[in-house]
Amino acid sequence: MNTSPDKINCRYLLHHEFKQRTQKNPSYSLRAFAKFLGVSPAYISQIFSNKRIVSDQKAKEFSKKFKWTAKKRNLFFALIQYEKTTDIQLKADFLEQIENLSELDFLELQEDQFQLIAEGYHYSILELTNVKDFCSTPYWIAKRLGISLQQAEEGIQRLLRLGLLTQKQGIYKKTSPNLRVQEIPSSAIKSFHQEKLRLAALALEKHDFWDRDFLGVTLSICKKDLPHIRELSRDFIERLMKLSDKSQSQDAVYHLSTQFFRLDKESTQR
C-alpha cells in the first residue's frame, strides 16, 4: 500500500469538510467554518496554508464537531502526530497506523460525478480490469458483463473523462484502489442500490449455490448502537477490499451489499 501522508494530510481532511459545506451552500465562508469549529478565521487560514499544525486539544475538539467515526478520528490524530514528530522510528510507527486505517486509499466521489455513474456497470468495468484474462475491448467487456456494446463504449469514455480509468499501451486500468461515494442521500445513490438489489434477486434465482452467498439475520437492537453497527459493516467492507487488492489472480467480479433496516414500527405508547 502506497499511502502518503505528505500528499493527503490532516489539512486534507479539514479542507474536505469545508469543501462539502461550500458545495451545499455556495455562500458558506471560511469565517463560518471557523465559527463552527470555535476558532478564529486566521487559525483555519494558517492551517490550510501549512503555517500551523493542529494541536492535540484542537484535534479532539474538531473531530467531535464533525462527528467522525472512531476510525476517521484515529486517522486524523495519526496524521497530526506523523507531521509533528521528528523521530524516524515514531514516524514509521505513525505511518503504519495511517496505512492500517485505510481511509486514504479511498477516492471519494462527489455527487455530480456519481450522477454520471449511478448505473452500477461502471464499477463492474473498473473491477473487471483486474481480472487476469481482461481484454481492453468494448465488445469483450460488454459480453463479460452482460451489458450492451453501447453501454460498454459510453461507460469506458465516461470513466476516462472522470479520471477513474486510464489507458496505457492500449490497456485499461482503474486509477484508484477503491471507490466510495459520499454518504449523503440522493436519487442517484438510491438508483444504484435499487439496481444492485434487482441483480441480487436475479442471482438468487439463476446463479449456482456455490457461486453466491446470501445471509440474513433478524434481531432486536438498541437504536443508540446504530453508529457502531454501521462502523462494523464499513470495517468489514474495507477489509474485504484490502483482500481484493492484495490478490494477484482475480478471475471474477462480485458485488457485496449490506442492508440493515427496521422491521417494526415506532411505538405510540408512552
What are the tens digits of pLDDT across the range 79-132?
A: 888 888 888 888 888 877 777 765 545 556 665 566 566 777 888 999 899 898
Please indicate, yes or no, whether residues 207 and 92 belong to a single structural domain of this protein. no
How large a percentage of the chain has pLDDT more than 90? 30
Considering the domain architecture, whether residues 162 and 42 belong to the same structural domain is answered as no
Task: Indicate whether 79 belongs to any domain.
Answer: yes
Tell me the pLDDT tens digit for each residue of 234-251: 889 888 888 888 888 888
Count up the domains in the chain and report the number: 2
Q: Say which residue, 208 or 16, is predicted with more confidence.
A: 208
Distance CA 167, CA 175 (A): 10
The pLDDT value recorded for residue 166 is: 92
What is the average pLDDT score of the chain?
83
How far is 198 from 187, CA to CA, in rounded Å?
Answer: 16
Q: Residue 9's pLDDT is what?
A: 76
Domain shared by 182 and 222, yes or no: yes
Residue 198 lies in a domain: yes
Residues 174 and 235 reside in one and the same domain: yes
Does some domain include residue 174?
yes
pLDDT of residue 165 exceeding 80, the answer is: yes
Where are the strands (E) in the chain, listed by range? Answer: 106-109, 165-168, 171-174, 178-181
β partners of residue 166: 173
Around Cβ 9, how many Cβ atoms within 10 Å?
21
Q: Which residues lie below 8 Å from residue 64, measured CB to CB, with a gap of 6+?
A: none
| Distance of alpha carbon 24 from alpha carbon 111, whole angstroms | 11
How far is Cα 6 from Cα 9, in angstroms, rounded to an integer?
A: 6
Phi/psi zone of residue 67: left (φ > 0), alpha (ψ -120 to 50 degrees), beta? left
Task: Give kind and range of the element (H or E) at residue 212.
Answer: none
Provide CB contacts within 8 A for 73, sequence distance 6+. Answer: 63
258: in domain: no
Residues 205 and 146 in one domain: yes
Confirm if 260 and 217 have CB atoms less than 8 A apart: no
- Residue 2: what pLDDT? 44
CB-CB contact of 93 with 5 (8 Å): no
CB neighbours of 188 closer than 8 A, spacing ≥ 6? 111, 114, 115, 118
Tell me which residue has cell 469545508: 18
Same domain, 198 and 150: yes
Would residue 64 count as lying in a domain?
yes
Instruction: Tell me, yes or no, whether 223 lies in a domain.
Output: yes
Whether 140 and 120 share a structural domain: yes
Please check whether residues 34 and 93 belong to one and the same domain: yes
Name the domain boundary from 50, 73, 101.
101
Say if residue 50 is in the same domain as residue 161. Answer: no
Integer Cα distance of 253 and 60 in angstroms: 40
- Same domain as 134, residue 49: no
**Are 132 and 181 found together in one domain?**
yes
Count of CB atoms situated within 10 Å of the CB of 268: 5
- The pLDDT tens digits of the residues spanning 170-227 come to 899 988 766 666 555 567 777 788 888 998 999 999 999 999 999 998 888 898 999 8
The answer to the question of residue 80 being in a domain is yes
Q: For residues 120 and 158, state if they share a domain.
A: yes
Partners of 107 in beta bridges: 179
* 30 belongs to a structural domain: yes
Query: 85 is in which domain, residue-wise?
Result: 10-101
